[in-house]
Amino acid sequence: MNEIKLVPMDEGHISELARLEKICFSQPWSEKSLSEELENRVAHFLVAEVDGRAVGYIGIFVVYESSDISNIAVFPEYRRHGVGKLLLRGACDVAKRNGAESISLEVRPSNEGAIALYNSLGFEEIGLRKNFYRNPTEDGLILSKKLI
């Protein structure tokens, strides 16, 4: 696979990322929702590109000293090639540069691959959100990582 580049999300990425959302999530973000984040001062979305094509993305929100990952998605054919790890490292860097001392996310307990990835980067389980996910209903594990 050619080099993976991280770039800030822009309007040119929106339709492809909305398509990715539909592939990955039971409650996908719409093009409109993604586009609105371009105007959100606390939102930071990074896109992983290979040869100019969006292959994955991550969205984070930084508010004062805390940050939250809203979503991370990688097209199936690009999984297990380091894209997710690169996106997560990029998100941590952006959060830290914007003053965050920690970064958190929710993940389905059944998503063992994602949990293994998060743990490999130093995320630790700090809590549980009951019935956080829909279609199917499932709790959300809260994972967090200190950035300082």
Say which residues have a Cβ less than 8 Å from residue 77's Cβ, sequence separation at least 6.
Answer: none
Name the strand (E) or helix (H) holding 136. none
57 is catalytic: no
Query: How many residues does the structure list for the chain?
Result: 148
125 is catalytic: no
| DSSP state, residue 30 | P
* Catalytic-role residue among 21, 49, 78, 118: 118
* Catalytic-role residue among 16, 106, 125, 138: 106
Say which residues have a Cβ less than 8 Å from residue 24's Cβ, sequence separation at least 6.
Answer: 73, 74
Strand spans (E) along the chain: 4-8, 43-50, 53-63, 66-74, 102-107, 124-133, 138-146
Alpha helices in 25-74 (DSSP H): 31-36
Say which residues have a Cβ less than 8 Å from residue 30's Cβ, sequence separation at least 6.
Answer: 18, 21
Catalytic residues: 106, 118
